[in-house]
Structure formats: structure tokens, C-alpha cells
């Protein structure tokens, strides 16, 4: 079960930079690991652009932003390029990490799929905060507020 204070689940996923990434490489800084349903859809675009607009502030607070969806690398690259996204997107086509983090479930009229959920993982690899109800337009402000509270 994924809960605040528990050890974050490891993953090995391909990134939009063409490399495979695992949780351990983010040790020593906060990781804002956010799960989202689909590249280039209205809510997901708002959320990604909001993170992108605040990327300097988030990095200055000692955190890295990483997005995860089922989309393939080609889709991720198109999405990053179209909106000038400056952070890593990971591809989880089999939803392994998505399910392990509890970010898979009933999406109402959209059926079962990836839920919009964010996990802030601390410098030691533990889950510091889980954001279950995410407003795509304001979410980066919530993350900044949380990270500032940890200073």
C-alpha cells in the first residue's frame, strides 16, 4: 500500500531523453513524480505547462519534476516539443509503475485508466506527500507551497 511515510516503489522506465530511469537516481533531492492520463489533452497540458512555468522555482527548492503516463516515447517527445516542456517524461505502457503507485483506477466516463495523482518523494526515497485530488491549473502552486514548508 502506498502511503505517506512509506518507502517509494522503485521503477525502471524509459524517458523522453532516450535513457532508462529508476527511482534511486533522484536520491538526495525531492522528486515530484506526477502521473497523468494522456499527452496533449486539455487537463494534462494545463498541468504540464503549469509545472513548466514554475520549473525554476521548483528546482530552486531542491526538487526535480518527472511526469509519467502510458504514452509512448514518440508521443512524449511531440508533447514536450509542442509546449517546450523542460522536464523528463517517463513512458509506462504496461502501467506497472502507475498501478504500483495506486494511480490506476476508475476515471468515470473515461473508464479505467491513469489517474491524475502526484507523489513528492523525499531525499531518502520515502513518500513525503500524496496529492490525490489535483486541479491541473493550480497544482504546481500546491507543490511549491509544500516544498517551501520543508525548508
Please say if 44 is a catalytic residue: yes
Q: Given 44, 65, 89, 115, which residue is catalytic?
A: 44
Beta bridge partners of 14: 20, 91
Contact yes or no for 13/95 (Cβ under 8 A): no
The helix/strand/coil state of 7 is: strand
Burial 50-85 (b: 16+ CB within 10 A, else e): bbbebbeebeebebbbbbbbbbebebbbebbeeeeb
Please list the active-site residues: 44
Amino acid at each position: 500500500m502506498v502511503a505517506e511515510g512509506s518507502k517509494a516503489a522503485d521503477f525502471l522506465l524509459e524517458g523522453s531523453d532516450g535513457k532508462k530511469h529508476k527511482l534511486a537516481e533522484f536520491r538526495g533531492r525531492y522528486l515530484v513524480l506526477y502521473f497523468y492520463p494522456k499527452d496533449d489533452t486539455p487537463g494534462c497540458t494545463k498541468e504540464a505547462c503549469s509545472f513548466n512555468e514554475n520549473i525554476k522555482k521548483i528546482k530552486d527548492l531542491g526538487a526535480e519534476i518527472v511526469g509519467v503516463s502510458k504514452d509512448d516515447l514518440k508521443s512524449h517527445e511531440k508533447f514536450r516539443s509542442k509546449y517546450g516542456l523542460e522536464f523528463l517524461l517517463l513512458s509506462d505502457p504496461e502501467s506497472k509503475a502507475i498501478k504500483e503507485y495506486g494511480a490506476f483506477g476508475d476515471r468515470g466516463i473515461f473508464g479505467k485508466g491513469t489517474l491524475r495523482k502526484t507523489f513528492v518523494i523525499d531525499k531518502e526515497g520515502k513518500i513525503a506527500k500524496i496529492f490525490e485530488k489535483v486541479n491541473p491549473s493550480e497544482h504546481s502552486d500546491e507543490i511549491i507551497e509544500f516544498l517551501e514548508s520543508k525548508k
